[in-house]
Structure 1
Amino acid sequence: MRSVRRIVTGHDGSGRPVIVEDADCRHIQTTAGAQVVNLWLHEGPPRNDTTYADPVGPDVPLPPPAGGGVLRVVEFGPRDQGETPYLHRTPSLDYAFVIAGEVVAVVGSEETVMRAGDVLIQRGTTHAWDNRSDTPCTILFVLLDTGPAT
């Protein structure tokens, strides 16, 4: 997966707007056969504090923190023959924007092919991402906690 540059704004000691970080994001994980770059997360409502501390730590779980959200880029490689897509469900509202490539969104017993520029609003259903092509697929995700399913 290519690196993802993360630029974060903030304020200096005098309250002037500044760029507090500008570097390739180092929060990279491999999970369920995909490469994940966790760009940002927040527990509870998002905040724009005047001090800056990187909110992303090691081993970010799949769902967002309670009452919070996570921003990540995921690259799904082509699925190996015999491999089963990772079916999962999280208590979150997920926005999935395909940046590059093609992937099959599996939702219950239904499927739809997504290509670059397509967006899926994932509302707490059991789902999987199945790359049946021969090239990687890159998706930008925003996951917002919704609490327990009702």
Structure 2
Amino acid sequence: MSFNPGQISPLRGITRHITGHNDAGKAVIHSSTPGHWQSFEQAAMAFNVVYTSQFPANLNKDTDITKHEESQQSEQLGLVNPDGTSLDYGVVLEGEIEMILEDDESVIMKRGDVAVQRATMHGWRNPSDTEWARLLFVLQDCQKLSVAGVEMGEDLGIATGLLKPSGN
């Protein structure tokens, strides 16, 4: 399928939800922004670099977010950033899913939306009583994180004892 230059894709736009921590160390939504698409091949294709940072990512004082924003503003960012990546990505493939963070902060994610989990306590809930949801997760390691002078650690929640801890 090809598109005429200037034609808008019939696909649903995506939203990127980046998590972070408040001053008390609780998980919050840092930002929710629409995807920024770069078109090429006479608008027959487009790409969106959802998030990139150094690897392993340094979450302390939002260093990774600053590096991502600098990469985007440099207008030098291609499909990848040298030595770059992100953290844990959660991509909604089908249906809708509620991403729940601490202090009852939540967001409904729709097909195509991406969560960039930055070492935050979170949970998932399907808001539908009748429809299934399918998510894709890409999990990556990060440097140790300290928030408000407290070193954050891995918490497997209800999976404790079922999954082996990674050490972070």
TM-score with structure 2 length normalisation? 0.35
Q: Where is the helix percentage greater, Structure 1 or Structure 2?
A: 2
TM-score with structure 1 length normalisation? 0.38
Q: Where is the strand percentage greater, Structure 1 or Structure 2?
A: 1
